[in-house]
């Protein structure tokens, strides 16, 4: 009975957090449009369908990576190598499709497998060698980025093949980018994994109380390894989308993507101390940050100030989370 009450309370807390985040997103949207109207005398430009679609398209890659990052942070981990996996995945996709002439779908599958394996390697180092996640992924950040440069000798793999660019640039139903559809599919998959499966319950339990998880029969190491493998796959999908969007596999891309993902996860209500967080919350966090970035661009504000704004938002989210933990 006590366990059921605790679970019920947790779900109510999560619902309350999602409600607050959704309200914050709406307030940000309305505030920015009011500022835009006041400054330029224009209509509700943010709420125009084209702008909304553009924002969703812009945040698609960050959202996919952030979904994977949510699982890792839930189990008291972190992954600083996600951006490097994005670059490595794009490079491998270019080699497979452009140099080795593999079918595109097969190339996608191989790239996602590689992403899962490199994520798995992070998880093994964290769990079996007992190294801190920050140190492990900081090192693999350098290793994977270096491999991306090494595989192509520092030169991007370009192609003019239209099929290569489909998932990153094409539209379905006339006006919906394929990347948005892929983001929504990944969202549903991660939502189901975290909220409707045994592995999802294990992820929450490990993050909330590792010792209790062990006594409950949960294999803590395997649970953490799965989380790292899944963010590897998510980063690989992000790398595929980015390579397709650019028409090339480049070792220079993906810099800072892991920080954007961590920011979205934290803003979306996932606790840095683990055990609390949702995939819908992360999506709202991505949209809040994407909305702010887009709106500051519409207002003509310097991109340097935008970086400061994102940093302050992250700090505020962490402060709020720490205050909640103290209470």
* Average confidence score pLDDT of the chain: 86
Report the pLDDT value the prediction gives residue 2, as an integer from 0 to 100.
Answer: 43
Mean pLDDT of the region 36-52: 56
H helical segments located in the chain: 2-40, 49-74, 82-94, 104-127, 133-151, 166-169, 178-196, 198-208, 210-215, 220-246, 257-267, 279-298, 303-326
Q: Does residue 94 contact residue 107 with C-beta atoms inside 8 Å?
A: no
Is the residue at 148 inside a domain? Answer: yes
Q: Which domain holds residue 294?
A: 10-40+59-326
Mean pLDDT of the region 19-24: 64
Q: Does residue 70 contact residue 127 with C-beta atoms inside 8 Å?
A: no
Is the residue at 116 inside a domain? Answer: yes
Is the residue at 47 inside a domain? Answer: no
Summarize pLDDT for 192-217 with one digit per residue, the tens: 999 889 999 999 999 999 999 999 99
> CA separation (Å) from 284 to 20, 266, 289, 312?
10, 11, 9, 18
Q: Does residue 182 contact residue 60 with C-beta atoms inside 8 Å?
A: yes
Summarize pLDDT for 247-295 with one digit per residue, the tens: 999 999 999 999 999 999 998 889 888 888 999 989 988 988 888 887 7
Q: Does residue 114 contact residue 239 with C-beta atoms inside 8 Å?
A: no
Q: Assess whether pLDDT exceeds 50 at residue 144.
A: yes
Is the residue at 203 inside a domain? Answer: yes
Which residues, including other chains, have CB under 8 Å from residue 171's CB and lie 6 or more apart?
Answer: 177, 178
Is the residue at 52 inside a domain? Answer: no
Mean pLDDT of the region 31-52: 56
Is the residue at 46 inside a domain? Answer: no
Cβ neighbour number for residue 13 with a 10 Å cutoff = 13
Question: Per the structure, how many domains does the chain have?
Answer: 1
Encoded tokens for 214: 């062990």
Which CATH number do you get for residue 299? 1.10.3470
Concatenated DSSP letters of 29-93: HHHHHHHHHHHH-----TTSHHHHHHHHHHHHHHHHHHHHHHHHHHTT---S-HHHHHHHHHHHH
The conformation of residue 197, written as its DSSP 8-state character, comes to S
Summarize pLDDT for 152-166 with one digit per residue, the tens: 999 999 998 999 999
Q: Does residue 280 contact residue 273 with C-beta atoms inside 8 Å?
A: no
Summarize pLDDT for 68-113 with one digit per residue, the tens: 999 999 999 999 999 999 999 999 999 999 999 999 999 999 999 9
Q: Assess whether pLDDT exceeds 50 at residue 3.
A: no
pTM: 0.89
């Amino acid at each position: 009975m006590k366990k059921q009450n605790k679970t019920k309370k947790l779900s109510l807390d999560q619902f309350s957090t999602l409600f607050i985040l959704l309200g914050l997103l709406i307030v940000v949207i309305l505030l920015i449009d009011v500022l835009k109207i006041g400054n330029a005398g224009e209509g509700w430009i943010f709420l125009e369908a084209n702008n909304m679609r553009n924002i969703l398209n812009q945040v698609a890659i960050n959202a996919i990576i952030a979904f994977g990052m949510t699982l890792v942070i839930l189990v008291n981990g972190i992954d600083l190598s996600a951006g490097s996996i994005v670059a490595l995945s794009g490079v491998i996709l270019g080699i497979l499709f452009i140099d080795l002439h593999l079918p595109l779908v097969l190339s996608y599958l191989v790239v996602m497998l590689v992403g899962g394996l490199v994520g798995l390697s992070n998880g093994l180092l964290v769990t079996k060698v007992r190294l801190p996640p920050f140190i492990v992924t900081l090192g693999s950040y350098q290793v994977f980025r270096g491999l991306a440069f090494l595989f192509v000798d520092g030169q991007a793999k370009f192609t003019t093949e239209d099929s290569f660019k489909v998932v990153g640039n094409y539209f379905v139903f006339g006006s919906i980018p394929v990347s948005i559809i892929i983001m929504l599919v990944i969202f549903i998959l991660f939502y189901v994994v975290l909220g409707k499966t045994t592995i999802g319950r294990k992820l929450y339990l490990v993050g909330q109380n590792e010792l209790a998880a062990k006594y409950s029969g949960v294999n803590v190491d395997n649970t953490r390894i799965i989380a790292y493998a899944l963010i590897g796959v998510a980063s690989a999908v992000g790398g595929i989308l980015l390579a397709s969007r650019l028409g090339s596999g480049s070792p220079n891309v993906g810099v800072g993507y892991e920080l954007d993902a961590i920011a979205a996860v934290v803003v979306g209500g996932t606790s840095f101390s683990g055990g609390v967080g949702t995939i819908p919350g992360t999506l709202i966090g991505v949209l809040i940050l994407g909305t702010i970035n887009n709106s500051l661009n519409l207002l003509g504000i310097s991109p340097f100030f935008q970086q400061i704004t994102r940093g302050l938002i992250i700090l505020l989210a962490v402060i709020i989370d720490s205050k909640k933990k103290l209470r």
